[in-house]
Amino acid sequence: MYEKFYDQLEKLGIVPVVVLEKVEDAEPMAHALMHAGMRSAEVTFRTACAAECIAAMRAAEPEMCVGAGTVLNNEQADRAIDAGAQFIVSPGYSEDVVSHCIELNVPVLPGCVTPSDITAAIAHGLHVTKFFPAAQYGGLATIKALAAPFVGHRFMPTGGVSTANVEEYLSCPAIAACGGTWMVKPALFADGDFSRVEQTAREAMDVVRKVRG
């Protein structure tokens, strides 16, 4: 299940975690990321305009893979999917959200930090899960320890991933992709100029190319 999406994740390498307060920022954000070669975004449901932003990004950049993040329940998942979200990310493991997304055939990346979480995800046929908050749960050392018994299972760490450590994360075979906010921090585009987002995203993609070719 979801093999095509997992292949896509591997190619993307980095999925920026985008928190947008204004729908007007969605279109220039999508263009800046795509120009930098960063062809995806996880738009978080932490802000009221998340669904609208997903729709705006998909319309602005039809080739971009746009998903929804911080999805805590089925109602949010439905709103995200109706808006065009192509994948769903949750900070934790929700049996409800996972089952619902599988029923709808939409890829879902639940947050799994314990062996029990991962066992539950694997029981549903999931082979990649989010690992959040990565830094606080032991980062790469914990991921490597979890990868040993869960052979073939892979992770998308977010939380504390940055320019300082993304190369190390991406070099680990158990990492499908990394998530993070460092290239899309609100301070980078507060004045409406998205060139700093583009530049930071381009630098991040240089690391993906260096590690993964």
- Which residue in the set 181, 184, 189, 201 belongs to the binding site for ligand 3PG (CB under 6 A)? 181
Does residue number 158 form part of the binding site for ligand 3PG (CB under 6 A)?
yes
Per annotation, catalytic residue among 3, 10, 24, 42: 42
Asked whether position 179 contacts ligand 3PG by CB under 6 A, the answer is yes
Unique residue bearing structure tokens 């606080």:
136
Contact pattern for ligand 3PG over residues 73 through 112, marking x by CB under 6 A: ----------------------------------------
Least CB distance from residue 162 to ligand 3PG, whole Å? 7
Compute the least distance from the CB of residue 52 to ligand 3PG, in Å.
19
Instruction: Give the contacts of 192 (CB within 8 A, at least 6 positions apart).
Output: 28
| 130 in active site | yes
CA distances, 172 to each of 13, 45, 111, 141, 176 (Å) = 12, 29, 19, 10, 9
Residues annotated as catalytic (active site), given as ranges: 42, 130
